[in-house]
Amino acid sequence: MQDRRNAFTAVSLFSGAGGMDVGFSQAGFDIVFANDVDKDACATYRLNHTGEIHHGSLLDPGVGGMLTQKDVDLVFGGPPCQGFSVAGKMDPDDERSRLIHSFFDVVDRLQPKAFVCENVKALGFLNRWADVRAALMRRGRKNHRVALVILNATDFGVPQIRERMFLVGLHRDIFDGTDKDLQAYLETGLDAQRAAPTTVSDIVRSLGKAGSETNPRVCAAKITYARSPILRKSPYAGMMFNGAGRPLPAKKWATTLPASMGGNKTPIIDEAEIFDGEQSFVEEYHRHLMNGGEPRTGCAPDRLRRLTVDECLAIQTFPANYRLAGSRSAQYRQIGNAVPPMLAAAVANVVARGLDGGAALQVAAE
């Protein structure tokens, strides 16, 4: 499905730095309108995408009034999700609550053939968000068949454990089936695109050591030992060092990269383990503590350091030549807020095939 050539038109909302846009462009969508409230993200978008992005909130009539496209094939985007986290306490009157509904306001206005609304996993399954979820499903069902899938980015070639919800709609005029049929179509199409990710170690080695010409954008936040370590069974959980940026296993995948990166919330790696083949310092120190050893104090050894901007881009599967605007902290924030392009492309490919008629054909065959 990656080899499609015919382009569909798309409107991108809450575009950020353009992670979803990269994936949907790769699947054959021509993005005719993009929007975000973050100035740095808009500047990044302009550096990498040919289409124009409009800065401002969708709740601003000046921005919403620009959405006059006709015959749009797709509306996609990821409304702000902080309030829908596991610990979220979303106020129905909070602007973020209004913004997720503003996505469907645009769907109602443009009547696209399809829509894709991305958000955190918690919104897709927690009972506390059941009413919000049901309201969104009702809005989507006005003119579309709808289905909800929860995906882990690692299943689609992304070296990062990042679970996200995708609410997908295909217009009733082009999908001759039920919501249940659409659910089956999506799951089957996505299963066909599963791919094994590379490892954190592979990515870091491909870029070179931090501070080198090919990996220059380093994080300066120091790593010190936690005075009162919080231990878990895994060396890569708990808290053995300062800050919320935990160590990453070199031979596996990263945990979810947060938008708060850039300081001591930036994940940690072990250069000596990755480049020189030495035993993991993190695992060794974890064993020491688990066996009753005293916590160490002061700075951790220099072999431990935090992920660079370029490593974070690669872990998110942005193209190698992707450029970022803004300060170093703004760059980390944009990366952490993004949907991994490879994950977005997997969803986009299935939607594109549905627009091509593949979904209807599959339903008919069944």
DSSP per-residue string spanning 160-229: EE-EEEEEEEEETTT--S-HHHHHHHHHHHHHTT-B----HHHHHHHH-STTBTTB--------BEEEEE
Decide: 32 and 10 in contact? Cβ < 8 Å. yes
- List the structure tokens of 349: 């490919």
Active-site residue identified among 81, 117, 219, 312 = 81
DSSP per-residue string spanning 57-106: -TTSHHHHTT---SS-SEEEE----GGGSTT----TTSHHHHHHHHHHHH
- At 31, is the secondary structure helix, strand, or coil? strand
Verify whether residue 117 is a known catalytic residue. no
Q: Please tell me the distance from the alpha carbon of residue 305 to that of residue 299, in angstroms, as a whole number.
A: 11
Max Cα distance, the chain (Å): 67
Which conformational region is residue 277 in: left (phi greater than 0), alpha (psi within -120 to 50 degrees), or beta? Answer: left
Catalytic residues: 81
